[in-house]
């Protein structure tokens, strides 16, 4: 009995000691769970949005402009006489040549009028011949003393009146002949029929509109340019245009004229730009925008305008080289007005990474890295 009690006490003590040792082991920190101390980065960390790469590109310094393209030469064909339209030979969109017949008007009334005036002219000429004969006889009789000077003067007046009447009727005949010829309508220019308002069977009045012809070989753009930009422009200056519907294509043009006065209200000035259209692809009314080229540089090393910093009148940029920032003095060239790129003539090479975030405080030699690398 005593042996059993002693054995039980020994077992309890052994189990308690083992539990204590197990708890101590669980409480003791393992070497793997020890905290790691990270080294602190003493420098600046850039995001990719803070950086830009210097690239070779074509730069342009220009003035932006836009407007509607119209044919340089358009002609409105009108009726010279009031008459009935007998025939129309062309339709809208057709191409015509100068001198081509476009329409015919009824000539019956015009022909009758011409014949009437030609008859009047014949009578007037007969009357003038008689007056001339009477004057000649009066002169002879006056020389012989048979006719008085008053009678001679009357004969002279009758002849002069008859001659004036003939001249007036001759003018009427010429006008009637012209009216008869005007009954045939011909194209005054090469071009295309932009509008047709004449139809067979209709009566047109004098100066009634019949056709509009447009020569598409040469087009013109009227652009309103702010007055502050006009002194930069000059006649003959190159213009690069983009026209709606011709994506990816650039049309070469030139400044043809500059209006001498500003538009009331807007204070803008009309600039007229001429462009060739040999393929006749451009049409009147198309919208175009582009730029008048003031200066340009090809294969120029360029960086964003935000990368340029100035101090004491000198320009510099900060270049990221491996793990630090380098300050580099630069010589500037053209500033591209559309994309905001600046030509760097010296101080930066193509492919260099520059810091283009203007708000960052930087210094030469500052340690740097790109976030996530």
pLDDT of residue 35: 46
| Spatial distance between the Cα atoms of 286 and 280, rounded to a whole number of angstroms | 13
Hey, what are 335's tokens?
């500033």
Distance of CA 30 to the CA centre of its chain: 78
Predicted confidence (pLDDT) per residue in 242-292, tens digit: 999 998 899 999 999 999 999 888 889 999 999 999 999 999 999 999 999
pLDDT of residue 93: 92
Is 273 in contact with 64 (CB distance < 8 Å)? no
pLDDT of residue 55: 93
Ranges of each domain in the chain: 48-57+298-370, 64-72+216-297, 107-182
| Spatial distance between the Cα atoms of 196 and 217, rounded to a whole number of angstroms | 20
pLDDT of residue 126: 87
Hey, what are 351's tokens?
């492919």
CA distances from residue 71 to 9, 30, 95, 192, 367 in whole angstroms, order as listed: 119, 89, 14, 11, 62
| Spatial distance between the Cα atoms of 84 and 81, rounded to a whole number of angstroms | 10
Is 344 in contact with 352 (CB distance < 8 Å)? no
pLDDT of residue 186: 92
| Spatial distance between the Cα atoms of 46 and 356, rounded to a whole number of angstroms | 11
CA distances from residue 3 to 14, 15, 47, 365 in whole angstroms, order as listed: 17, 19, 80, 85
Q: Which CATH architecture has domain 48-57+298-370?
A: Beta Barrel (2.40)
Q: Tell me the β-bridge partners of 344.
A: 332
The CATH number assigned to the domain with range 64-72+216-297 reads 2.40.30.170
Hey, what are 29's tokens?
């920190």
Q: Which residues of the chain have pLDDT under 70?
A: 1-41, 111, 146-147, 373
The crossing angle, in degrees rounded to 10, of helices 149-181 and 108-143 is 160
- DSSP letter at 48? G
């Amino acid at each position: 009995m005593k042996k059993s009690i002693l054995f039980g006490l020994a077992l309890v003590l052994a189990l308690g000691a083992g539990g204590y040792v197990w708890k101590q082991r669980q409480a003791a920190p393992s070497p793997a769970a020890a905290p790691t101390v990270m080294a602190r980065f003493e420098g600046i960390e850039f995001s990719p949005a803070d950086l830009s790469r210097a690239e070779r590109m074509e730069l342009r310094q220009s003035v932006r402009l836009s407007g509607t393209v119209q044919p340089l030469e358009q002609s409105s064909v009108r009726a010279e006489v009031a008459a009935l339209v007998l025939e129309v030979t062309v339709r809208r969109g057709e191409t015509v040549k100068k001198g081509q017949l476009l329409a015919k008007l009824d000539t019956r009334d015009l022909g009758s009028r011409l014949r009437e005036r030609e008859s009047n002219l014949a009578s007037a000429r007969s009357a003038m011949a008689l007056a001339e004969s009477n004057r000649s006889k009066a002169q002879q009789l006056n020389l012989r003393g048979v006719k008085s000077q008053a009678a001679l003067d009357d004969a002279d007046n009758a002849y002069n009146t008859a001659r004036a009447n003939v001249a007036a009727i001759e003018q009427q005949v010429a006008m009637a002949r012209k009216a008869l010829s005007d009954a045939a309508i011909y194209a005054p220019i090469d071009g295309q029929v932009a509008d047709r308002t004449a139809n067979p069977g209709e009566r047109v009045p004098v100066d009634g509109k019949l056709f509009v012809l447009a020569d598409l070989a040469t087009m013109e753009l009227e652009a309103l340019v702010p007055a502050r930009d006009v002194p930069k422009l000059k006649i003959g200056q190159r213009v690069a245009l983009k026209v709606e519907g011709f994506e990816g294509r650039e049309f070469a043009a030139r400044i043809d004229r500059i209006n001498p006065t500003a538009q009331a209200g807007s204070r803008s000035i009309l600039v007229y730009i001429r462009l060739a259209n040999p393929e006749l692809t451009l049409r009147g009314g198309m919208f175009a925008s582009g730029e008048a080229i003031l200066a340009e540089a090809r294969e120029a090393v360029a960086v964003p305008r935000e990368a340029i910093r100035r101090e004491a009148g000198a320009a510099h940029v900060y270049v990221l080289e491996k793990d630090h920032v380098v300050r580099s003095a630069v010589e500037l060239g053209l500033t591209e007005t559309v994309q905001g790129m600046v030509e760097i003539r010296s101080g930066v090479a193509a492919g260099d990474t520059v810091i283009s975030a203007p708000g960052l405080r930087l210094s030469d030699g500052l340690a740097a890295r790109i976030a996530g690398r």
